[in-house]
Amino acid sequence: MTELTPIENLSYEQAYAELEAIVAALESDQRPLDEAIALFERGQALTQRCSSLLDQAELKVRMLNGESLSNGSDEA
């Protein structure tokens, strides 16, 4: 396996693209169990990274819009 970029260094777009590639690989190829588990674990970490970056972006948008951060219970 090639050397992977640390997840914390990936942008949203990079993490999402890698996650899509992992999903495609797991769906289409027969892989040894150890490799499939490693891919799954990386995919889980990429999912967390994407979620974190989206949360940060949402917070920034709310701050720019002057929304109260204490009123986070309003769901659309």
The confidence band for 1, taking pLDDT boundaries of 50, 70 and 90, is very low
Question: pLDDT band at residue 73, thresholds of 50, 70 and 90?
Answer: low
Give the integer Cα–Cα distance in Å for 56 and 54: 5
What helix, strand, coil percent values describe the chain, rounded to 5? 70, 0, 30
Which pTM was predicted?
0.78
Domain boundaries, the chain: 33-64
59 with 70: CB under 8 angstroms? no
Q: Tell me, what amino acid is at 28?
A: S
User: Mind listing the pLDDT tens digit for each residue in 3-39?
Assistant: 889 999 999 999 999 999 999 999 987 889 999 999 9
